[in-house]
Amino acid sequence: MPGLKHEKLCAAPVAGVDEAGRGPLAGPVVAAAVILPARGVPRGIDDSKKLSASERERLCARLHDCAIVGIGIVEADEIDTLNIYWATMKAMTLAVEALAQAPAHVLVDGNRLPRWGHTATALVGGDAKSRSIAAASIVAKHTRDTIMLAHAETHPAYNWHSNKGYGCPHHLRALREHGPTPLHRRSFAPVAAAYASLDLSLSRNTPTA
């Protein structure tokens, strides 16, 4: 499980930052920033991908109770405007800015850092190396999953309660059959193709003078 080796090398307080939702065809990209408490850190914090949904839900609730948490959300329309890379950087920035306490150092999962004024370190595979980043990965993943479950109620055809907006076969089939929703990312190739197909179908069905 991720430890505190990297946190101990930095000035305190240290915030871990991670994101969820770079790859899906629909929904927002969500980032979280977490400053863990000196004592009382919940047991079981790990890379969110290694945890079940129920474990993430439990740990996310505990982290909101004991840690300092900030969340940043960038919606699909802004992802299309910025592109997914810069939308992710913005979500991370918003998450750190949402912290109730300014961090002295920020540990970020990945190999790139947002353009901000914070002293920070990028850690490739950070969610498996840093407990703070792993905590952020749990909060980001659970927050985004909760958002997509709510959207699944409004758009049941796309099976978001299961795929959370990722391009699984059921989702792709629904995209072809029903077309995109306002929550789809127009700049992503399968969604762009669905829009193009819809435009072509409309043009064929438009009466000519």
Contact in structure between 122 and 113 (CB atoms under 8 Å): yes
Residues 6+ apart with CB under 8 A from 173: none
pLDDT digits (tens, 9 = 90+) for 88-147: 999 999 999 999 999 999 999 999 999 999 999 999 999 999 999 999 999 999 999 999
Cα–Cα distance for residue pair 158/146, rounded to 1 Å = 16
pLDDT digits (tens, 9 = 90+) for 139-198: 999 999 999 999 999 999 999 999 999 999 999 999 999 999 999 999 999 999 998 877
**Domains of the chain, each with CATH number or no CATH:** 5-202 (3.30.420.10)
55 labeled part of a ligand binding site: no
Residues 6+ apart with CB under 8 A from 205: none
77 labeled part of a ligand binding site: no
pTM: 0.93
78 labeled part of a ligand binding site: no
